[in-house]
Amino acid sequence: MRPSHSGPRIDMQTTSSLAPETTIAVIGAGRLGGVLARALRTAGYQVLGPLRREQAMPTVDIALLCVPDAAIAAVAFVARPHARLVGHVSGATPLDDVDFSIHPLQTFAGSETPDVFHGIGAAVAGRTPDALATAEQLARGLGARPFGVDDDDRATYHAAASFSSNFVLAALDAAEQLASEAGIPADEARDRLAPLVRRTVDNWVAGGARAALTGPIARGDEATVARQRAASGGFQDLFDALAVATRAIAAREETA
Ligand SMILES: NC(=O)c1ccc[n+]([C@@H]2O[C@H](COP(=O)([O-])OP(=O)(O)OC[C@H]3O[C@@H](n4cnc5c(N)ncnc54)[C@H](OP(=O)(O)O)[C@@H]3O)[C@@H](O)[C@H]2O)c1
């Protein structure tokens, strides 16, 4: 059986494909390592791991490092003699110590099922055509859509990912705490705010931030903005930073 999927459109073409007997060691049993090992196994590959730091490195075709970025160089050094290709899954780290990278553009807590990869983007890169083809094939085998990111752009690309996930959470956590200060219990606050968050994201996906922006800054209701700021308590610095960014969006010409 050859790993394959009949999912969404793919963004890159490749000429080679990985044989189903390809052996892959997933190194690092953290949030992504466990999910990735399950998904690669489901895709039909021979997967060892996720391997913990105390486990010996087996001899395999591919070693896939799912360790913190700071550990990639050291773990790659250990894996190198045992694998034909060494890859990492880091968004920000260049390819200095590995042959390829596959970065799934999603957040993983560790309990996800293999279909979490279906239809998501996966940034792929390789130091050789063979290594790049391997990264693309792994992405496709998982059901993801591979796309390329140059080494020089990786930090910028990963900053975009952090703005899309980590910093959204920082804003949502402030919202939850302010709602709580307004007398709405935290659980209820998340439930009440969720439709607003989802619609905002849907509108942004459909037409970008300028078209999606509503609220007092977009309306020019400066007295309301000042009252909100005064009521923001411990979040005033965050309010100010986000207000600057929001004013910049509001000042943009609408393109649609
Ligand atoms: N989680 C995500 O949402 C996500 C999304 C896309 C990409 N990634 C990428 O995935 C990689 C791992 O991230 P993560 O979120 O899964 O981190 P994590 O939950 O902190 O897991 C990292 C794992 O690596 C292990 N480890 C560290 N040094 C090791 C070594 N020398 N040998 C074997 N295992 C070692 C850690 O073990 P100990 O606990 O024993 O230290 C831990 O289990 C990073 O490159 C990250 O950029 C993560």
68 prior amide bond cis, ω within 30: no
Ligand 1 center–CA 251 separation, angstroms: 41
CA pair distance 106, 16, nearest whole angstrom:
26
Atom 27 of ligand 1, nearest CA residue: 67
For residue 20, pLDDT over 50 is answered with yes
Rounded mean pLDDT of 33-56? Answer: 96
For residue 11, pLDDT over 70 is answered with no
Residue-level pLDDT at 255: 62
pLDDT mean across residues, the chain? 92
Architecture of domain 23-151: 3-Layer(aba) Sandwich (3.40)
CA pair distance 57, 75, nearest whole angstrom:
10
Can you name the residues that pair with 25 across neighbouring β-strands? 48, 63
Which of ligand 1's atoms lies nearest the C-alpha of 33?
A: 16
Between strands 100-104 and 121-126, the pairing is antiparallel
Can you name the residues that pair with 88 across neighbouring β-strands? 65, 101
Chain CA centroid to CA 129, Å: 24
For residue 12, pLDDT over 60 is answered with no
pLDDT digits 0-9 by tens, 219-240? 999 999 999 999 999 999 999 9
pLDDT band of 46, cuts 50, 70, 90: very high
**Structure tokens belonging to residue 87:** 């890859």
Residues 138 and 40: beta-carbon distance below 8 Å: yes
pLDDT digits 0-9 by tens, 57-109? 999 999 999 999 999 999 999 999 999 999 999 999 999 999 999 999 999 99
Pocket test for ligand 1, best of 66, 93, 102 (most atoms within 8 A of CB): 66
For residue 130, pLDDT over 50 is answered with yes
Pocket test for ligand 1, best of 31, 54, 103 (most atoms within 8 A of CB): 31
Residues 172 and 193: beta-carbon distance below 8 Å: yes
Residue-level pLDDT at 5: 33
Ligand 1 center–CA 150 separation, angstroms: 23
Atom 46 of ligand 1, nearest CA residue: 90
Ligand 1 center–CA 120 separation, angstroms: 20
Ligand 1 center–CA 186 separation, angstroms: 30
Ligand 1 center–CA 160 separation, angstroms: 20
Residue-level pLDDT at 231: 97
Ligand 1 center–CA 42 separation, angstroms: 21
Give domain limits for the chain.
23-151, 165-250
Residue-level pLDDT at 253: 83
Rounded mean pLDDT of 200-210? Answer: 98
pLDDT digits 0-9 by tens, 241-255? 999 999 999 999 876
For residue 208, pLDDT over 60 is answered with yes
Atom 33 of ligand 1, nearest CA residue: 53
Atom 25 of ligand 1, nearest CA residue: 28
For residue 14, pLDDT over 80 is answered with no
Rounded mean pLDDT of 176-187? Answer: 94
Atom 21 of ligand 1, nearest CA residue: 30
Question: What are the DSSP E strand ranges found in 34-92?
Answer: 46-51, 60-65, 83-88
For residue 10, pLDDT over 70 is answered with no
What's the predicted TM-score (pTM) here? 0.90
pLDDT digits 0-9 by tens, 94-103? 999 999 999 9
Task: Choose among 205, 230, 201, 200: nearest CA to 215.
Answer: 200
Instruction: Assign 180 to helix, strand or coil.
Output: helix
Ligand 1 center–CA 33 separation, angstroms: 7
- Distance set, CA 17 to CA 4, 6, 245 (Å): 10, 15, 45
Ligand 1 center–CA 244 separation, angstroms: 35
- Identify the residues whose C-beta falls under 6 Å from ligand 1: 27-33, 52-53, 66-69, 71, 75, 88-91, 103-104, 107-108
